[in-house]
Amino acid sequence: MGLEQYKGDMAMCCRCSCCKFIPMQRVSGLQYANVCPSIAKYEFHAYSGGGRMNIGTAMLSEEGLPYTDKLLDIIYNCQMCGACGVSCNYAMDMEVQEPINEIRIKAVQDGQTNPALEKVIRNLRKEGSMVPARGKRGAWASGLKLKNAAKEKVDVLYHVGCLTSYDPEMQKLARAAAKILQKAGVDFGIAGDSETCCGGRAYQMGYEKDFLNQAKKNMAMVRKCGARTVVTTCADGYQAFKVLYDKYKMKGDLEVLHISEYIDRLLQEGRLKLRKKVDLSVTYHDPCRLGRMGEPWIHWEGKKIPGDRFVFDPPKQYRRGSNGIYEPPRNVLKSIAGVKLTEMTRIREYSWCCGAGGGVNESNPEFAKWTAKERIDEAVSTGAEAIVTACPWCEKTFNEAIGETGSSLKVYDIVELVENAL
Q: Report the interface residues with ligand SF4, using CB under 6 A.
A: 13-19, 36-38, 48-50, 52-53, 78-84, 88, 92, 96, 100
Give 51's contacts (C-beta < 8 A, 6+ positions apart): 39, 44, 45, 74
Minimum CB–partner distance for residue 284 and ligand SF4 (Å) = 20
* Cβ(363)–Cβ(104) below 8 Å: no
Minimum CB–partner distance for residue 244 and ligand SF4 (Å) = 15
Give 113's contacts (C-beta < 8 A, 6+ positions apart): 107, 206
Minimum CB–partner distance for residue 44 and ligand SF4 (Å) = 12
Chain-centre distance for alpha carbon 363:
17
Looking at residue 274, its amino acid is L
Minimum CB–partner distance for residue 357 and ligand SF4 (Å) = 8
In the complex with ligand SF4, the residue whose CB is nearer, 94 or 227, is 94
Minimum CB–partner distance for residue 172 and ligand SF4 (Å) = 29
In the complex with ligand SF4, the residue whose CB is nearer, 206 or 328, is 206
In the complex with ligand SF4, the residue whose CB is nearer, 100 or 418, is 100
DSSP sequence for 277-318? ---EEEEE---TTTTGGGSPP----SEEEESSSEEEESPPPP
In the complex with ligand SF4, the residue whose CB is nearer, 344 or 415, is 344
Rounded CA gap, 133 and 414, in Å? 25
Chain-centre distance for alpha carbon 368:
14
φ and ψ of 30, to 5 deg: -65, -40
List % helix, strand, coil for the chain (3-state, nearest 5).
Answer: 50, 10, 40
* Cβ(316)–Cβ(257) below 8 Å: no
In the complex with ligand SF4, the residue whose CB is nearer, 81 or 157, is 81
In the complex with ligand SF4, the residue whose CB is nearer, 15 or 209, is 15
Which residue has the closest beta carbon to ligand SF4? 50
In the complex with ligand SF4, the residue whose CB is nearer, 82 or 206, is 82
Minimum CB–partner distance for residue 97 and ligand SF4 (Å) = 6
In the complex with ligand SF4, the residue whose CB is nearer, 5 or 229, is 5
Minimum CB–partner distance for residue 35 and ligand SF4 (Å) = 6
* Cβ(51)–Cβ(74) below 8 Å: yes
16, exposed or middle or buried, with CB in 10 Å at 0-12, 13-18, 19+?
exposed
Neighbours of 289 (CB within 10 A): 33
* Cβ(382)–Cβ(342) below 8 Å: yes
Q: Which of 218, 160, 223 is nearest to 189 (CA)?
A: 160
Chain-centre distance for alpha carbon 290:
6
Minimum CB–partner distance for residue 216 and ligand SF4 (Å) = 27
In the complex with ligand SF4, the residue whose CB is nearer, 95 or 419, is 95
* Cβ(329)–Cβ(414) below 8 Å: yes
Minimum CB–partner distance for residue 146 and ligand SF4 (Å) = 36
In the complex with ligand SF4, the residue whose CB is nearer, 82 or 189, is 82
Minimum CB–partner distance for residue 350 and ligand SF4 (Å) = 11
